[in-house]
Amino acid sequence: MEILQSILEKNPCYRAGKKIKVGGLMLHSVGCPQPSAEVFVRKWNQAEASRACVHAFIDGNTGRVYQTLPWDHRAWHCGSGTNGSGNNTHIGVEMCEPACIKYAGGAGFTCFDTETALAVVRRTYEAAVELFAFLCRKYELDPLADGVIISHKEGHERKIASGHADPEHLWSGLGCGYTMQGFREAVKAAMEGQPAQEAQQKAAEAQGASEEPAKTQENCRQPAASAEMHISDRGVELVAGFEGCRLEAYKCPAGVWTIGYGHTAGVNPGDRLGSQEEARALLKKDLEQYGGYVNTCVRKGLISFALTQNQFDALTSFCYNCGNGNLQKLVSGRDAAVIAEKLPAYNKGGGKVLPGLVRRREAERALFLTP
């Protein structure tokens, strides 16, 4: 287990400086399709972040633990109920969630890449087992004692937390077989020196669970291949609007035979297209390569949120114009709002701001921000 010190020194919760006597640990999941802990650290390390603050995030891509408050600091992680607040007694830890899920309201979600989602959940679960075993040893807590290790959902049932369903909603929705009782058993086993994977297996066996992962629920019925997105006709029109079109083959400045909207594959002298619609069809085919670069960024976790079709189209247009390297630079570790903010900066050619690129970035940004 790797713990990175990322204390939120600008957050009002940290500045309040209140301490607690640690009596338990509460497990959360973030409730949005964001696997990067660094995104939350940046967002919450601000004086304006006055509504929430937890002790740690577990990164979905790496399993690293980002400690954001001293462990005995009073956090704002669970709200309260008629029996008081778990903020006064429990350390709160958030597990990041897969980028390949999309919430449909409340705790319900759909998943478009089951394999990736399960890998993220397994990674955060195993890191949480190790972290909670560490904290139980540090504060001499019995993980199997009543109320010591609970989820946000269980905190609500005990009337010491707000009405959330995490993280059980994520585990059950993906059909991965994890339960809070199994988690507590796994923490106990880890405290006895067993690796997280072995500890989880022991916990599963204690519950009579199968060693094989449970079949995914209906909301994860789609195969991983469905995660691949393709540019829409609207996206093709955006690109075409900024690219010149010639229906007869010509040599570009680099000496390559070209036709339509910059198509070069298999073009010979004398070739001619019958219409601009034919040229657009070739352009759409060429854009699949650049849409593939966007899909690769999603698979690698460089894009850590679920893309809408308009966002995908805008990024494909950007990649077609600026290249894969600049695409990766634009999106890596950033949420949608920051990407939209940074898009207009790519407006220079030869060190000078070009009006055509200014207009193109504005159009891509407008499409990116369109629901």
Q: What is the fold of 228-368? A: Lysozyme (1.10.530)
d(CA 155, CA 84): 10
Q: What is the pLDDT of residue 212?
A: 41
Interhelix angle 196-206/114-138, rounded to 10 degrees, is: 100
Q: Where are the strands (E) in 227-329, listed by range?
A: 246-251, 257-260
CA distances from 334 to 58, 92, 325, 342, 370 (A): 17, 24, 15, 10, 18
d(CA 38, CA 332): 11
d(CA 68, CA 59): 13
Q: What is the pLDDT of residue 294?
A: 93
Q: What is the pLDDT of residue 195?
A: 59
Residues 6+ apart with CB under 8 A from 72: 19, 20, 21, 22
Q: What is the pLDDT of residue 211?
A: 40
Same CATH topology for 3-224 and 228-368? no
Q: In terms of DSSP bridges, do strands 24-29 and 149-151 run parallel, antiparallel, or are they unpaired?
A: parallel
d(CA 306, CA 298): 8
**How many angstroms from the chain centroid is the CA of residue 45?**
19
Selected from 3.30.1490.190, 3.30.43.10, 3.40.80.10, 3.40.50.720, the CATH number assigned to the domain covering 3-224 reads 3.40.80.10
Q: What is the pLDDT of residue 210?
A: 39
CA atoms within 13 A on the CB side of 163: 2
pTM, two decimal places: 0.59
Domain boundaries of the chain, sorted by first residue: 3-224, 228-368
Q: What is the pLDDT of residue 35?
A: 93
Q: In terms of DSSP bridges, do strands 101-105 and 65-67 run parallel, antiparallel, or are they unpaired?
A: unpaired
CA distances from 162 to 86, 93, 146, 153, 158 (A): 10, 15, 19, 8, 10
Each residue's pLDDT, cut to its tens digit, for the chain (371 residues) gives: 899 999 999 999 999 999 999 999 999 999 999 999 999 999 999 988 767 899 999 999 999 999 999 999 999 999 999 999 999 999 999 999 999 998 877 788 889 888 889 999 999 999 999 999 999 999 999 999 999 999 999 999 999 999 889 999 999 999 988 999 999 999 999 998 875 555 556 555 555 443 444 333 344 433 333 358 999 999 999 999 998 899 999 987 767 899 998 888 889 999 999 998 999 999 999 999 999 999 988 888 788 788 899 999 999 999 998 999 999 999 987 888 999 999 999 999 888 999 999 999 999 999 999 98
Residues noted as catalytic: 243, 252
Q: What is the pLDDT of residue 50?
A: 65
Q: What is the pLDDT of residue 206?
A: 53
Closest CA relative to residue 270, chosen from 252, 293, 250, 297: 250
